[in-house]
Structure 1
Amino acid sequence: MKNYLLAISLFVAFACTTQPESMQTKNYIPETPRLASDIMTAEVLWSFGRLGGPQVSPDGKSVLYTVTYFNIEENKSYRDVYTVPVSGGAAKNLTNSAGNESDPIWRPDGKKIGYLSSASGSVQIWEMNPDGSEAKQVSNIDGSISGFKYSPDGTKVFYIQNVKLDEDIHDLFPDLPKANARLENDIMYRHWDQWHDYTYQHIFIAEYSDGKVEGGTDILKGKRYDSPMKPFGGVEQIAWSPDGKTLAYTCKKKTGKEYSISTNSDIYFYNLETGETLNFTEGMMGYDQNPVFSPDGKYLAWESMERDGYESDKNRLFVADLKTGKKTDFTADFDQNAHGLSWNAESSAIYFTSDIHATDEIFKLELAGGNISRITDGVHNYQTVEPAGEKLVAQKVSMSQPAELYLVDPKTGTDVALTTVNKGLLDQLQMGKVEERWLETTDGKQMHTWVIYPPNFDPNKKYPTLLYCQGGPQGTVSQFWSYRWNFQMMAANEYIIVAPNRRGLPGFGQEWNEQISKDYGGQNIKDLLTAIDEVAKEPYVDNNRLGAVGASYGGFSVYFLAGNHDGRFKAFISHDGMFNFEHQYLTTEEMWFANWDIGGAFWDKDNAAAQRSYKFSPHNFVQNWDTPILVIHGEKDFRVPPDQGMAAFNAAVLRDIPAQFLYFPEENHWVLQAQNGILWQRVFFNWLDKWLKN
């Protein structure tokens, strides 16, 4: 079986790559390969086109989006811009260059599409006609820029650019040009996967006319703050008012230690006429972000968390009456999160997505009366939603399909596919059955669990089975499609996967979500064991071939289970997991997370909650380790630094436990490069096969 799958992999890898044409002067848009088998391989997984960034045109008749393909041979991605009619029909490729066009948006009049390109040597704003013709550069700003957006009247744009405000070592000691060092005075000197480069992300407002962007005013001039907020914020954190006189932006106006211990971001109003700035959400203490003005300019909607320091607090839907200043939480009685807010044309309703029982569905808030209704219901995740006339355009994924665009009827919840980016591949693959179960936990609760079966599943056989431990820790095991933790990929390798929505995950009410904080080794671990124990009662599960795998908090879960599993498992895999809580507390970057979830510093001996948390640290149970373990870690992971993985691997070796350490010098908390991703899959399954199939 291994040789057969290897042959498939090599065939697909050959079929999916092309030789560079003039060093790739054109984009890379591969032909759909003809597969030698209906079973997925790592090479097939990395051959899928990745759809993103959908935007409905101003007239509601067309959708703009991007598709990214990876050239495995070059270990490089290529992104193109497309449109598809809302009424249905063939998609049109608008770009075909090696420039990796990004951030495409409609000009408000619908006559042009703006986008970012590095074709001129730096990232600048370009424009093209809606059919892709007459592409030309419209900005010539010193240095590269990132996101941008036109003002509603089309007379201005805002763009985002990094501004250097701090002195580096060569500014301080100019006579030492070859010195290679950093000199720090506060924490937050590195974040997610980058060392602070002495620059700050600022918003600039520039004049736009006759297809040219002129000048630029830095609305945060001299301020050591980032807007959008790093590391993941984008243009969704910034919004023009309909009259173009106000720019709302998200910012956490804190630095260093103060920044590291707080999640208190606010929405600010910048007045273009006076240059004055107003903190619109002053006194609201958690994350306030992603402002969206109503089309009539009377209201502002945004996403808001209540408590400072709690990054997984309930994501509320707030709306403010801009005339009276009254702010209303329309989700006060809605025990779910709200994401991706989008107004209807009449300014009377807001569409949004929310996770409910391990799927992400589309909901609608009626402003008059405050009623929230559910529109869709199925085994899927809707990731975005935007009105298009009487219909909705939404991006949807599932465990069995990567993202595509759909036209959704808001009255019935039914949908019709608008794009079929990956149909050619999907039609050749046999996916495993995805089954939904509810299991009783040790404290008498009902826990949602997904069970994914191998393609061509035979109930008369016995299969090795994997317990999937979710990360986050507050991240639902929903119908996501992952290019690393892909359940269909695991199933294709003839494993049954048990994926429980254990304690500490959203989509099952705030009480369920919050229970995990300060209880890392407690009820949620019991929930994980309940899931594998219950499914292991099935006759087709081989109890002698059980494994546990997970990343981030899931990686911690694996380390903890390694010392507390009572012989259940025969193999473990931990990716970027926390191993030593005391060391983690002093080396991670976002201290608010550790302070909230662990409870505080380990030296605070009077803090009972924190002291209990540190007792859950996996390194305290290494003396019980007796099972082979694969440890995976990326060097650029500053959330869970790589020495956590090294320590776990070293401990296993010193304990004479069979172990491997897969180390990626250039990856962060994730694995983002094509060949690294394929290598990850090969090592992952080689390890499992060695201990669970031989």
Structure 2
Amino acid sequence: MPHEKYAFDEKNRSIWKVGLPDGEAVRLTSPQEDAHTPRWSPDGNRITYISRASGQKEIWLMDADGSNRKQLTRSSFKGHDPFHGSTISWSPDGRNIVYTTLPNGSKYGQQQLLKQQYRNNRDAITIVSEPLDEVKTMYAPLMEESELYVLNVATGENKLLLKRQHAVCSVLDWFNDSELLIKCGRDWLKVSLQDKPPVTVYSGKHAIARIVHSTELLLAQKSGTSRVDIFKTKHGANQQLCSAAAQGEVKIHCWSYDGTKVYVTCRQGVSNVLYRIDAADGSLEPVTEAGRIVRNYDHLAGPVCSRQSDLVIFPYGGPDAPAELWTVREDGSPQQLTRFHLRHFTFAFPQTKIVHYPSGDWEIESLLLLPPGYDPNCKYPSLIYLHGGPELAVEASFTELASASARSAAHYLAAHGYVVLLPNFRGSAGYGEAFKNELGDCRILSGPYQDIMAGTDYLIHENIADPDALGLYGSSYGATLAAWTITQTDRFKGAVGAVGFYDMLHLDRARGTAFHAMFKNRLGDGDPQAMWQTPEVYEQMSPIEQIALIKTPFLLIETGAERKDGGSSGTILLHGLRHFGVKSHLVWYPRAFHNGGWNEEYKKDYMLRLRVWFDHCLKDEPLPEWFASGQQQ
């Protein structure tokens, strides 16, 4: 889906119904309808959902088998994506449906429109007295507004219940048939369907709630990175009940139906583990194993708890298994419900391992993919993939390894005979604050570089890699790091930078904000104004400052996003590489937008170019004519 579509939440989603406990799955809507956000009626006979079947997003209703579809709303909102992030909920008696909207559209959608309008308005005179004046002028018309509606299912009457400025509202739960709990910004409100004014029942940091009765809530709230506080609030007074401390970065998801447990996920390096917390004493019990993931960048849903039983359903997968739906047995162990994916795969997956190797004072965790039929007596051409961020991380996710949206495509490359190492170098998420802080003091490239070289030595020491057939590639920040790395060493025979930036001094000056100072962990004792005061420090933070040292052939890949943001630094790098006689090419995909908006044509082209480039650089195979001609292969 191109960026101009998904920026307004237009995708190709479909709704499936999964039978319990057999896990049989039936698709109810087609991808062309872009149907999503399904909600069962209390009696289980009907489903309400959001669909684009009529040409624009509206609330729809269908029977449990997908028949008798009926459009419930016919809206005329001003915004392009008024149902972006909408929440829908049935009243307990099944008579009403409440839903939230963004009448002016989502903040991101409005920003895209305003940015385009601003660029197209070439005749207007713009006065820039302060550095941010242009941005303020561009986004001045932006209007954040959220509304709550109630829809009578029998009569079709649609009534506005609540309107809030500068806050996004979401429906949380019901007190009874006519009163519900919603969240607007930091405020939690009791809202009546009977035209009574809303009442604030809680105001504070983000938390999840379980209604005890009309005046009392159970709350679970994140404190810091890894602690969860559980307390109850009654008439505005809070009483803490217990706390739970996990290892890693915690995300709180839901209360069990009976209010005795809280389900959370915890990022622990490449793993994302599901835990349940006993609300009585704060004890923590793991439900899933390390080495797999429940929630990550590609699967944000996480576990969901039923409001009618103790059923908990969550996505769960690993590096060699796409995420499926699972539940929790009575003894706390996971049980698989669906088998959507593996039936479509008839070939052997690469072998994936979690490995650790020393680098300075740190131990670096990585994913290692070995080709099918891997022979430990042979040495293989080997690639190292560098993730973006740099505070993101590689996770033990099938999608992570299969993705071709300017990402690793590691499964594909391993299937064609390459060993692929994906290190979580210093600065990566999931290893504590001290590890993230290693990026400070202008070490945003030089620190992770040490881990890359230590990983290279590990592959050679373990007799996995052919030392004369090493390649390097990265995405976003990882592309910048790849370019920096080949200014420091000629051990890599080929490199690829996808959707990266290479002239950091120019980029920082154009933005007015230093990339190495955007977050506290990056800055340390560095100077956020170094772009003006001491530009020489960029020799340690910008690949283009060291371009004369590059000897490694380099393939540059860009999208429309990089070319809009301060111009194409890839083109500048290409000119420099050609000046110094370094083999280099640049490919750009105009309708993709950084790691988003990659259609099937782009993905196939990206994967094939990666393989052909590394085959050329590491195996001395000739580049096909189409590679540089621009003709479709």
1:577 aligns with 2:500: yes
2:87 alignment partner, one of 148, 153, 171: 148
> How far is the alpha carbon of 1:213 from its aligned partner?
5.6
> How far is the alpha carbon of 1:430 from its aligned partner?
0.8
Distance 1:180 1:109, change over 3 A: farther
Distance 1:210 1:435, change over 3 A: closer
My pick for the range that moved more, 479-488 or 577-586, is: 577-586
> How far is the alpha carbon of 1:219 from its aligned partner?
2.2
CA distance in 2 between counterparts of 1:351 and 1:507 reads 19
Aligned 8 A contact 1:595 1:601 in 2: no
Structure number with higher helix proportion = 2
Distance 1:203 1:598, change over 3 A: same
1:366 aligns with 2:303: no
Aligned 8 A contact 1:350 1:365 in 2: yes
Query: Any stretches of 5+ residues in structure 1 without a counterpart?
Result: 1-45, 47-75, 229-234, 251-266, 282-287, 307-313
Identity, in percent, stands at 17
How does 1:54-133 map onto structure 2 within 5 Å? 78-96=12-30, 98-133=32-67
1:457 aligns with 2:399: no
2:327 alignment partner, one of 407, 412, 419: 407
AA in 1 matched with 2:343:
G
CA distance in 2 between counterparts of 1:655 and 1:352 reads 53
User: Counterpart of 2:394 in 1: which secondary structure?
Assistant: coil
- Which residue matches 2:363? 446
CA distance in 1 between counterparts of 2:498 and 2:268 reads 27
CA distance in 2 between counterparts of 1:189 and 1:366 reads 51
1:440-491 CA-partner distances (Å, limit 9, x unpaired)? 2222x32222211011212333311011112221223211223222321120
> How far is the alpha carbon of 1:142 from its aligned partner?
0.6
AA in 2 matched with 1:86:
L
2:484 alignment partner, one of 560, 572, 580: 560
Aligned 8 A contact 2:514 2:529 in 1: no
User: Counterpart of 1:269 in 2: which secondary structure?
Assistant: strand
Aligned 8 A contact 2:37 2:88 in 1: no
AA in 2 matched with 1:394:
F
CA distance in 2 between counterparts of 1:583 and 1:381 reads 38
- Which residue matches 1:432? 350
1:536-562 CA-partner distances (Å, limit 9, x unpaired)? 223341111111111122112112102
User: Counterpart of 2:325 in 1: which secondary structure?
Assistant: strand
2:557 alignment partner, one of 623, 632, 643: 632
- Which residue matches 1:157? 98
CA distance in 2 between counterparts of 1:106 and 1:415 reads 23
My pick for the range that moved more, 462-471 or 366-375, is: 366-375
CA distance in 1 between counterparts of 2:512 and 2:22 reads 47
CA distance in 1 between counterparts of 2:60 and 2:126 reads 39
User: Counterpart of 1:345 in 2: which secondary structure?
Assistant: coil
1:660 alignment partner, one of 585, 590, 595: 585
1:214 aligns with 2:158: yes
> How far is the alpha carbon of 1:643 from its aligned partner?
2.2
CA distance in 2 between counterparts of 1:302 and 1:182 reads 51
1:239 aligns with 2:172: yes
- Which residue matches 2:341? 422
> How far is the alpha carbon of 1:292 from its aligned partner?
2.5
Distance 1:89 1:364, change over 3 A: closer
Distance 1:156 1:421, change over 3 A: closer
CA distance in 1 between counterparts of 2:504 and 2:218 reads 41
- Which residue matches 1:268? 187
Distance 1:242 1:180, change over 3 A: farther
Aligned 8 A contact 2:472 2:492 in 1: yes
User: Counterpart of 1:134 in 2: which secondary structure?
Assistant: coil
1:296-321 CA-partner distances (Å, limit 9, x unpaired)? 26446466575xxxxxxx36545452
1:546 aligns with 2:459: no
1:227 alignment partner, one of 168, 172, 177: 168
- Which residue matches 2:595? 670
Aligned residues: 566
Query: Any stretches of 5+ residues in structure 2 without a counterpart?
Result: 2-9, 296-301, 621-633
CA distance in 2 between counterparts of 1:156 and 1:626 reads 64
CA distance in 2 between counterparts of 1:390 and 1:276 reads 30
1:473-531 CA-partner distances (Å, limit 9, x unpaired)? 12232112232223211201211011122212233333223433453123322112111
User: Counterpart of 2:518 in 1: which secondary structure?
Assistant: helix
1:536 aligns with 2:460: yes
Aligned 8 A contact 1:585 1:601 in 2: no
Distance 1:558 1:605, change over 3 A: closer
CA distance in 2 between counterparts of 1:385 and 1:190 reads 39
CA distance in 2 between counterparts of 1:438 and 1:102 reads 40
- TM-score normalised by L of structure 2: 0.79
1:83-139 CA-partner distances (Å, limit 9, x unpaired)? 112311421222247322122222445332111112222210001122212110111
Distance 1:332 1:393, change over 3 A: closer
Greater relative CO, 1 or 2 (CA 8 Å, sep 6+): 1
1:647 aligns with 2:567: no
1:346 aligns with 2:272: no
Distance 1:563 1:179, change over 3 A: closer
> How far is the alpha carbon of 1:677 from its aligned partner?
1.4
1:392 alignment partner, one of 303, 307, 312: 312
- Which residue matches 1:40? none
> How far is the alpha carbon of 1:638 from its aligned partner?
8.8
How does 1:292-371 map onto structure 2 within 5 Å? 292-296=208-212, 298-299=216-217, 301=219, 304=222, 314=225, 317-323=228-234, 325-326=237-238, 333-371=245-283
1:335-370 CA-partner distances (Å, limit 9, x unpaired)? 421125111011121111111242111111122222
User: Counterpart of 2:102 in 1: which secondary structure?
Assistant: strand
User: Counterpart of 2:13 in 1: which secondary structure?
Assistant: strand
My pick for the range that moved more, 83-92 or 318-327, is: 318-327
Aligned 8 A contact 1:546 1:570 in 2: yes
> How far is the alpha carbon of 1:687 from its aligned partner?
1.3
Distance 1:300 1:546, change over 3 A: farther
CA distance in 2 between counterparts of 1:180 and 1:103 reads 43
CA distance in 1 between counterparts of 2:98 and 2:356 reads 50
1:404-453 CA-partner distances (Å, limit 9, x unpaired)? 1123336353432x222222322x1111111222212222x322222110
User: Counterpart of 2:435 in 1: which secondary structure?
Assistant: helix
My pick for the range that moved more, 343-352 or 89-98, is: 89-98
> How far is the alpha carbon of 1:276 from its aligned partner?
6.9
User: Counterpart of 1:435 in 2: which secondary structure?
Assistant: strand
CA distance in 1 between counterparts of 2:133 and 2:294 reads 34
1:472 alignment partner, one of 386, 389, 408: 389
CA distance in 1 between counterparts of 2:241 and 2:134 reads 36
AA in 1 matched with 2:98:
V
AA in 2 matched with 1:321:
K
2:421 alignment partner, one of 490, 493, 498: 498
Aligned 8 A contact 2:445 2:541 in 1: yes
Aligned 8 A contact 2:258 2:310 in 1: no
Distance 1:330 1:203, change over 3 A: farther
CA distance in 2 between counterparts of 1:278 and 1:451 reads 50
1:520 alignment partner, one of 425, 436, 444: 444
CA distance in 2 between counterparts of 1:79 and 1:661 reads 33
- TM-score normalised by L of structure 1: 0.73
Distance 1:528 1:328, change over 3 A: farther
